[in-house]
Amino acid sequence: MIGLVFVSHSRLIADGLCQLAEQMAGGGVKMAAAGGLTDDPYALGTDATLILEAAQSVWSEDGVLLLVDMGSAVLSAEMALEFLPDAQRSRCLISNAPLVEGAIVAALHAGMGGSLEAVNAAAEETLYARKVERMPEDVKREGSHD
C-alpha cells in the first residue's frame, strides 16, 4: 500500500489534514505530515529535511504520494526527494491535486489498495470538483456590478 505525505507551510494544517484523512480512510494507510519550519507550530514555511523524514517514515515498495499546498512546498518536496536513493525516488510522486480534497481522496483510494499512479489520478481529479452548484444566471448576477 502506498504512503501519503501532506506538505504545508503550516504545521497545524499538515497535522490537522493528516488527522482528518486518517479518520476518513478508517486507518490502515501510512500518512505523515510535513509542515512548518521548526517545533513552533506557528512558524510558517517548508523544510526539505522534514519532508524527507516524512517520506521515509511512510515508505513502501508501492511508493509514496506527496500532496503539497503551494509554491515553495513543491520546491522543498523536490529537494527532499533528491536525497532518496534512486530506487526510492523513482517510486515517489508529487501530486498536482489540491491539498485538502486531494488528501482525502488519496487516502480513500490508497486504503483500497490503489497503485501510486491510480491514487494520484483520483486525487488530481478533485481539481475539477465543484463545491457549490450555481445556475448560469446566478454566476452572471455575481459577476455583474450593476
pLDDT tens for 31-59 read: 999 999 988 889 999 999 999 999 999 99
What's the pLDDT score for residue 27? Answer: 84
Distance, CA of 75 to CA of 81 (rounded, Å): 10
What's the pLDDT score for residue 122? Answer: 98
Instruction: Respond yes or no: is residue 109 known to be catalytic.
Output: no
What's the pLDDT score for residue 133? Answer: 85
Give 146's contacts (C-beta < 8 A, 6+ positions apart). Answer: none
β-strands 31-35, 64-68: how paired?
Answer: unpaired
Which of 2, 6, 8, 9 is the catalytic position?
Answer: 9
Q: Where are the domains of the chain?
A: 3-143
What's the pLDDT score for residue 138? Answer: 61
Per CATH, the number for 3-143 is 3.40.50.510
**pTM exceeds 0.85, yes or no:** yes
**Mean pLDDT estimate for the chain:** 93
Q: What percent of the chain has pLDDT over 90?
A: 83
What would the mean pLDDT of 81-107 be, rounded to a whole number?
A: 97
Residue with cell 445556475: 135
Cβ contact 96:124 at 8 Å: yes
